[in-house]
DNA sequence: CTACGATAGGGAACGTTGTTCCGTTTCGCA
DNA sequence: TGCGAAACGGAACAACGTTCCCTATCGTAG
């Protein structure tokens, strides 16, 4: 309790450890851009100039590393939800804009959408993080749009988020597949005839 | 050209080879049901009581084995397209019914949808087979529905098929995710206001 | 019925992955 | 300046798809 933090022990890590953690995050981000989020752990370690064990010391599993790399952007996306709802004309428009934000995030990260919905255990924490953080935001937008009578009221936020995420799989590096268009169709399909 | 077949050599395979090919197909089908299409090759070999090399002799890659196992069902789906178009009231209804057929096929095969859209090379032939066989059928249905003014005319069949396939990923073994519903929304999103 | 050559098979071996282990190095404090 | 804990590196392990090579089997010609 001596530090102003969250009350946990927080035994300040050694300087080299903190330095390596930062180096690893940078290296991972760089490798993810060029080789996708499923890049071999060894590649990331090599890029950072450390051993593979160092990665696992800082990040219990690959999923945690991915979370750490993209945490800021996920948080930004989550926070954009209420802001859009407050600043845009209709809740449906806000929903559409927010979904676009999410899609833009996903399609610009090679393979992230794919790994996000892999049933491979070990990505469970990644899965859970994204869903825990974003589903409530989506649910809020859905409720508002349903309350205003713009969309049907039986749409489950979790289901929609997974659907949108799925639609983004393989959207990178293939010009014939435009995930944004399909997601727009999907969102349009939620509308009620007025 | 001496035989009445397709004109290729077709030097009748040895009896044990034909027997093993059949055994392998049965074993693969059984393992796919219990462990999904990404089951280890060794498991399939063990189930069939053969060595792994035997699999690769008959099927150059895992993808070819998967194709062989599901070929009949894919063909049936492809052939159902024109039939639906002829027998159902509106082209849009036929499209919906046909997409439902495709979705039913995908969601009942553990992991098939996932592997179908994996960017992993080696599944390219699987990818190509499904698309080559089904996209033209889908395109035909889309054209008919667009011609009758029921849906927008700028929907690409390849894109739609990939989108639908993607929506089916992870649809098995998760009761909270109903791919059929989402696909229905997507198809509904193609409608033109009349 | 037998022997032989081509065909097919089995399983060990290879290369690549994620992950863990352990001996060594480095840091931070007294 | 020395020492214990923390962190490190890379070898080691396990699981996977795939290939290789030697052996067993099949089908046929004599």
In the predicted model, is pLDDT for residue B185 greater than 80?
A: yes
A172 to chain B nearest CA, in Å?
A: 10
Give the residue-averaged pLDDT of B25-52.
Answer: 94
Give the residue-averaged pLDDT of A102-115.
Answer: 90
pLDDT band at A10 (very low <50, low <70, confident <90, very high): low
Token pair belonging to A146: 């349903």
Q: Which residue has the higher pLDDT, A78 or B1?
A: A78
CB atoms within 10 A of CB A168: 28
Percent of chain B with pLDDT over 90: 70
| Homologous superfamily of B62-188 | Tetracycline Repressor, domain 2 (1.10.357.10)
Domain ranges of chain A: 1-58, 64-188
In the predicted model, is pLDDT for residue B192 greater than 90?
A: no
Q: How far is the CA of B55 from the C1' of C6 (A)?
A: 20
Q: Do B167 and A169 touch (CB under 8 A)?
A: no
**Residue A179: closest C-alpha in chain B:** B163
Burial of A189 (0-12, 13-18, 19+ CB in 10 A): buried
Q: State whether the Cα torsion A109-A110-A114-A120 is positive or negative.
A: negative
d(CA A86, CA B39): 49
pLDDT band at A11 (very low <50, low <70, confident <90, very high): low
* Alpha-carbon distances of A20 from A23, A27, A46, A60, A145, rounded to whole Å: 5, 10, 13, 15, 45
Per the prediction, chain B carries an average pLDDT of: 89
What was the pLDDT predicted at B193? 79
What was the pLDDT predicted at A3? 40
Q: Which residue has the higher pLDDT, A82 or A171?
A: A82
DSSP code for A192 = P
List residue ranges whose Cβ is under 7 angstroms from nucleic strand D: A 11, 13-14, 16-17, 20, 49-54, 57-58; B 14-16, 38-42, 52-53, 56, 60-62, 122
CB atoms within 10 A of CB A74: 16
Q: Which residue blocks in chain A are alpha helix, DSSP H?
A: 15-35, 41-48, 52-58, 62-87, 91-107, 112-116, 124-147, 157-167, 179-188
Which of A156, A162, A185 is closest, CB to CB, to B190? A185
Q: Which nucleotides of chain D are near protein (any atom < 7 Å from a CB)?
A: 6-12, 15-21, 25-27
Q: What digits encode the pLDDT tens for the residues A33-49? A: 999 998 999 999 999 99
The reply to whether B185 touches chain A by the CB within 8 Å rule is yes
What was the pLDDT predicted at B115? 84
Q: What digits encode the pLDDT tens for the residues B164-181? A: 999 999 888 788 999 999
Percent of chain A with pLDDT over 70: 94
CB atoms within 10 A of CB A190: 22
Q: Which residues contact A151 (CB under 8 A, 6 or more apart)?
A: A92, A95, A142, A145, A190, A191, A192
Question: Token pair 């590393």 is at which residue?
Answer: A65
Q: What digits encode the pLDDT tens for the residues B72-111? A: 999 999 999 999 999 998 999 999 999 999 999 999 988 8
Q: Do A119 and B170 touch (CB under 8 A)?
A: yes
Are A109 and A149 spatial neighbours (Cβ–Cβ below 8 Å)? Answer: no
Closest alpha carbon to B102 in B75, B132, B123, B120: B75
Which of B158, B187, B190 is closest, CB to CB, to A176? B158
| Homologous superfamily of A64-188 | Tetracycline Repressor, domain 2 (1.10.357.10)
Question: What's the fold here for domain A1-58?
Answer: Arc Repressor Mutant, subunit A (1.10.10)
Percent of chain B with pLDDT over 70: 94
In the predicted model, is pLDDT for residue B158 greater than 80?
A: yes
Give the residue-averaged pLDDT of A13-31.
Answer: 92
Q: How far is the CA of B164 from the C1' of C13 (A)?
A: 41
Q: Which residues contact B29 (CB under 8 A, 6 or more apart)?
A: B69
Which of B111, B114, B182 is closest, CB to CB, to A186? B182
Let me know if the fold of A1-58 is the same as that of A64-188: no
């Amino acid at each position: 309790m001596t530090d102003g933090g969250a009350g946990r022990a927080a035994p300040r890590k050694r300087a080299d450890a903190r330095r390596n953690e930062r180096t690893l995050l940078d290296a991972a981000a760089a490798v993810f851009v060029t080789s996708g989020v499923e890049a071999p752990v060894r590649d990331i370690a090599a890029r950072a100039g450390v051993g593979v064990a160092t990665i696992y010391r800082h990040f219990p599993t690959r999923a945690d590393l991915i979370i750490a790399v993209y945490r800021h952007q996920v948080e930004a996306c989550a926070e954009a939800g209420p802001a859009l709802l407050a600043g845009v004309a209709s809740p449906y428009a806000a929903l559409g804009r927010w979904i676009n934000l999410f899609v833009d995030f996903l399609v610009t990260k090679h393979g992230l959408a794919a790994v996000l919905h892999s049933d491979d255990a070990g990505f469970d924490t990644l899965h859970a993080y994204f869903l825990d953080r974003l589903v409530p935001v989506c649910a809020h937008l859905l409720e508002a749009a349903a309350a205003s009578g713009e969309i049907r009221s039986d749409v489950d936020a979790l289901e929609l988020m997974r659907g949108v995420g799925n639609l983004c799989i393989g959207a990178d590096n293939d010009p014939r597949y435009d995930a944004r268009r399909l997601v727009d169709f999907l969102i349009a399909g939620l509308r009620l005839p007025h």
